Amino acid sequence: MKIALAGAGAFGEKHLDGLKKIDGVEVISVVGRRLEPTQQVAAKYGIPHATTELAEALEQPGLDAVILCTPTQMHAAQAIQCMEAGKHVQVEIPLCDSLADGEAVLAKAQETGLTAMVGHTRRFNPSHQYLHRKIANGELNIQQMDVQTYFFRRKNMNAKGEARSWTDHLLWHHAAHTVDLFAYQAGPIIAANAIEGPHHPELGIAMDMSIQLKAESGAICTLSLSFNNDGPLGTFFRYIGDTGTYIARYDDLVTGKEEPIDLTGVAVSNNGIELQDREFIAAIREGREPNASVAQVMPCYRVLDALEKQLEAAR
């Protein structure tokens, strides 16, 4: 399977690392904002074609699919562009930063019948997969999820400490992980509330946010997000269930008493990005809907849209 990757930044390289481990996959083109750094990434990973234009990558002979790791604001339009070119597409999270854009991507996916997937990595992390199976088997029912998503980003930098060409967003990007995961683990969301702290004078975004969710099952979720946190960075999930408490930290899982849980055998890898890419490729090969398809994750973006309207009304 021949793949193009658009967005040769920090996250794009994580996908390239994962794709190297999947049999029968060849990355034939990489797209970046500036040609020289993009060529350097291509050389590092042995990719024969580098360009600054997605349209040029889409014309590469034999191309089957595209993975988009470009700035959030480009995701929806580029996903549609890929499908219009007849290519399967995986869009990194978030699918969009407006509901209208997300619905347009869904409509195009339904029109073309192509595989269209969103990088909701938490669905694929072995820690969350382990708990999802317990829930599906009736061994655990979520009562509450308490989630902290904390970064220190008072300047517009990426994960590699390089200046970003775009601005990240707590609601449409980072909250999307948890809103989708909560619905995936506890069922459809029926109530959502949000409050935000002051907006950054230069970045123009809220640097702190608090979100409450309630699922149809009765489970609740409390999500705290911050770009002001100068301490342990990342997202930490506490699952409080009827038969146990669990804490997930990326690909690690412990009980509420910090007892490690062996995740061996849950998946073929402990790398959520690799597992996400494996699902995308398998869905294309098998002609089926992938986990985290655009259709499956749209309820998350509808909740985010409602929360954005709530926040705007309170300003």
Mean pLDDT of 24-29: 98
2-119 shares its CATH topology with 122-273+299-314:
no
Q: What is the DSSP string of 5-61?
A: EE--SHHHHHHHHHHTTSTT-EEEEEE-SSHHHHHHHHHHHT-S-EES-HHHHHTST
**pLDDT score, position 157:** 57
Residue predicted with more confidence, 299 or 166: 299
- pLDDT recorded at residue 315: 86
| pLDDT in the model for residue 203 | 80
pLDDT of residue 200: 86
- 122-273+299-314: which CATH topology? Dihydrodipicolinate Reductase; domain 2 (3.30.360)
**Confidence (pLDDT) at 139:** 98
- Kindly state which CATH superfamily the domain 2-119 is placed in: NAD(P)-binding Rossmann-like Domain (3.40.50.720)
Average pLDDT, the chain: 94
- Report pLDDT for 160: 57
DSSP letter for 226, please: E
Indicate the pLDDT class of residue 5, thresholds 50, 70 and 90.
very high
Give the rounded percent of residues in the chain with a pLDDT score beyond 90: 86
For the stretch 36-54, pLDDT in tens is 999 999 999 999 999 999 9
Distance of CA 139 to the CA centre of its chain: 27
How many residues comprise the chain? 315
Residue 127 confidence (pLDDT): 96
Band (168; pLDDT cuts 50, 70, 90): confident
Q: Which of 112-116, 199-203, 254-258 has the lowest mean pLDDT?
A: 199-203
Q: How confident is the model at residue 205 (pLDDT cuts 50, 70, 90)?
A: confident
Which comes out higher in pLDDT, residue 206 or 305?
A: 305
Structure tokens at 12: 């794009």
Sequence-distant (≥ 6) Cβ neighbours of residue 246 within 8 angstroms: 131, 238, 239, 253, 254, 255, 256, 261
Residue ranges covered by each domain of the chain = 2-119, 122-273+299-314
Q: Is the pLDDT of residue 104 over 60?
A: yes
